[in-house]
Amino acid sequence: MRGRDLLILAAVLLVGGFAVADTLRDEASSGGEPAAGSTTTGAQTAPTTTVDEELGRASFPFVPRGGGSIVLAQSGSCAIREFDLPTGLEFRNVVARSSCQLWAAPVTAKVAVGIGEPVGDAVPFRFIDLARAGRNLGSSDALFGFLVWSDDGQRAAWCNRQHVGIDLELGEFRHRLPDCPAAYTPAGLIALAEGERLVVDGRTVLTASGGITNVQYGSDGSVAVDVEGRRIERYRRGKLTDALDLPERFEGRMPNLSPDNCSAAFRADDRIRILDVGCSRLGPQGTVFPGHAAAWSPDGSAIAIGGASELTFYDLEGTERPVTWPIGAVSMVWRRS
């Protein structure tokens, strides 16, 4: 089946992601009432967008190399919270409860939030606009927990548990896709992984050395593909420029790629390991940070590393000291302004 290889890594990520969330979340946040209007079954946690005395009021230290905002699923409570950068001020609208799964648009205040345990191989979720308290933009389920956002944050694409590909313009129309999506191009077109070929609008834009299981379009015009979970290949204009054969311990894991596709972050127990794809600003040896979640700054000059009780911002240019906030993160996304 076309698109099957793309979802193999997502299945591994789904299992690992829930294991991390189960370890870090609070017992009290694992239950909840079924989400209204959800099309899924099974135990669910209704995401509630709220403002109360504790959430939406935090103020953390200034981040010198910050810009945009960081949205995270908090360790323990699984609350979805967003903070302005560089000021460290929290935005008032939060999702007080979730199942700790978070897919955040790269820009705008839109998020997709997990609302329950997997139903078979699919994760139930709901779209929420954090800029408009309580506005529900619809719900569905994502096969193997895989969902991608367009660069403008207005559209999302995924496959549901019936293996039906969906391209949704939030608040507007949804379109059925011929296969499960791999990514959006910077121009907003759907990219499909068909074996070793990356196909956009019926045209093959690159041919990898094997089956493509993950795709990221870089901010610099590059495209990175994960080949069969064992190798990362970086392309420009359809030509291979850099490649990394993954160490055995990282094979089959979804890479967290930097905006220029030059570095790949992987979780290794209680540490984040950064590997060089071939052009990393950190050099061929990469580096290691303590923590279990990572988010690259939009320009790739900094990285946020989340642990069970702390979130630390590291300046990769080496000109600023690390800044630590007293909040843990299961997962997070660093949005651009």
120/214 Cα distance (integer angstroms): 22
Name the amino acid, one letter, at 241.
Answer: T
- Whether the CB-CB separation of 12 and 253 falls below 8 Å is answered with yes
* Of 180, 110, 113, 198, the residue nearest 152 (C-alpha): 110
> Within its chain, how far is the Cα of 269 from the centroid?
19
pLDDT of residue 41: 40
Among 130-139, 151-160, 166-175, 326-335, the range scoring the smallest mean pLDDT is 130-139
* DSSP helix/strand/coil, 20: helix
Overall average pLDDT of the 297-303 stretch: 96
300-to-66, 77, 86, 263, 336 alpha-carbon distances in Å: 11, 29, 15, 9, 11
Using alpha carbons only, give the angle 319, 320, 326 rounded to the nearest 5 degrees.
Answer: 160
pLDDT of residue 51: 43
Output b/e per residue, 182-194; b: 16+ Cβ within 10 A. Answer: bbbbeeeebbbbb
pLDDT of residue 45: 52
Q: Is 271 left (phi over 0), alpha (psi -120 to 50) or beta?
A: beta
Enter the tokens of residue 135. Answer: 């506005």
pTM: 0.85
Q: Is 270 left (phi over 0), alpha (psi -120 to 50) or beta?
A: alpha
Name the amino acid, one letter, at 104.
Answer: A
Residue 207 pLDDT level (bands cut at 50, 70, 90)? very high
- Whether the CB-CB separation of 127 and 170 falls below 8 Å is answered with yes
Compare 77 and 66 and report the one with higher pLDDT: 77
Residues of the chain above pLDDT 70, percent:
84
Among 8-12, 32-36, 65-69, 226-230, the range scoring the smallest mean pLDDT is 32-36
pLDDT of residue 18: 47
pLDDT of residue 3: 52
Enter the tokens of residue 100. Answer: 């700790």
Compare 81 and 65 and report the one with higher pLDDT: 81
At 8, phi and psi to the nearest 5?
-60, -50
pLDDT in tens, 240-287: 999 999 999 999 999 999 999 999 999 999 999 999 999 999 999 999
Which residue is listed with tokens 């999702």? 95
pLDDT of residue 56: 80
Which residue is listed with tokens 């990219």? 191
pLDDT of residue 134: 63
pLDDT of residue 42: 45
Overall average pLDDT of the 110-128 stretch: 94
Q: Is 15 left (phi over 0), alpha (psi -120 to 50) or beta?
A: alpha
Residue 1 pLDDT level (bands cut at 50, 70, 90)? very low
pLDDT of residue 172: 87
pLDDT of residue 332: 97
Compare 93 and 218 and report the one with higher pLDDT: 218
Using alpha carbons only, give the angle 180, 183, 68 rounded to the nearest 5 degrees.
Answer: 140
- Whether the CB-CB separation of 289 and 305 falls below 8 Å is answered with yes
Which residue is listed with tokens 């009290």? 28
Return mean pLDDT, the chain.
87
Enter the tokens of residue 29. Answer: 């946040």
Question: DSSP code of 92?
Answer: S
pLDDT of residue 48: 52
Overall average pLDDT of the 49-63 stretch: 75
pLDDT of residue 46: 52
Residues of the chain above pLDDT 90, percent:
77
CATH of segment(s) 4-335: 2.130.10
The ranges assigned to domains in the chain are 4-335
Residue 154 pLDDT level (bands cut at 50, 70, 90)? very high
7-to-68, 144, 227, 291 alpha-carbon distances in Å: 30, 7, 12, 26
Is the pLDDT reported for residue 131 higher than 50?
yes
Among 132-136, 230-234, 294-298, the range scoring the smallest mean pLDDT is 132-136
114/44 Cα distance (integer angstroms): 9
